Amino acid sequence: MSNPTPPIPANEELRDLLLKALALDYLKQREKSSGSPSKDTKPLWLQLFESAGFAALVTVIVGGIAGGVITAMLQHSEKERDAQAAEIRLDHDRQVAAYKEHLDRERKVVEEMYLRLGKFVDASRDLTTLSRIEFCQECQRTPLSPHVIKEEQGVLDRYDAAMIEWNSNRLRLGMLLQLEHENDKELLDDWEKASDAAEMYAECADRWRTKYNRLAIHEALKACELPHRAVDDTVQVLTNRIVTLRLSAPAAPGK
């Protein structure tokens, strides 16, 4: 019965052992060849190739090379996967940042639009209050008080400032709104209608003030009812369109 196979040592140690065994085997063969020659004696190089030590050494060397190649291929593949994953994460981060920037820009445009539109409409509504009798100089037995005169002038100044501010920003705000919503045709139409309604209300308020100057409070509150209702209606339609576009926009990456 053959002896049990000893445990296989590590590659480097195995190479050393095989090289030593191969060297001893070579020396033994050389000593044999130095004796009486035989016709069946094979050349040393052939004996070397046929020896078990040489075959084992070749196996270890070739196996080591193959193992190194496979390891290198696996490491290269892992590096490629890591690079692809990093690129995907970077692209995702870019998309998220761009999406957040778009939302922030759109929010600022909408906030400014409603702010300036609201100031314009409020200034027009305040202008109609000057049609009340307490602002009518010829209706009073005594001159208007400095407080009333100051209040009247403040209303006129706010209206003029709001009109200038609105005229200076209407076109810009409309263009910015369109840019953030990819030139949506319906949004542009709604913006034009709301803007026109606000300007028609402002013109009506100015005519109302010059036409009436001795109205009671409840009568002054009815000033330009239809144009004012048109402002509310068109602004509501515009708001609905903005909300619809926001909801229909592509969600943020990863959601």
Same domain, 233 and 109: yes
- Give the integer Cα–Cα distance in Å for 185 and 107: 19
175-218 pLDDT, tens digit each: 998 888 888 999 999 999 999 999 999 999 999 999 998 999 99
Helix (H, G, I), strand (E, B) or coil at 254: coil
Same domain, 103 and 170: yes
| CB-based burial, 97-135: b 16+ in 10 Å, e otherwise | eebeeeeeebeebbeebeebbeebbebbbbbbbbbbebb
In-domain check, residue 88: no
**Residues spanned by the domain of 57:** 11-30+47-69
Q: What are the φ and ψ backbone dihedral angles of 12, each rounded to 5 degrees?
A: -65, -45
pTM score, two decimals? 0.63
Same domain, 185 and 225: yes
Same domain, 234 and 155: yes
- Can you tell me which residue has the tokens 């009333």? 148
In-domain check, residue 87: no
| Number of domains, the chain | 2
How is 30-77 classified by DSSP, letter by letter? HHHHHSS--TTPPPHHHHHHHSHHHHHHHHHHHHHHHHHHHHHHHHHH
Same domain, 114 and 62: no
62-91 pLDDT, tens digit each: 666 766 777 777 777 777 877 777 777 777
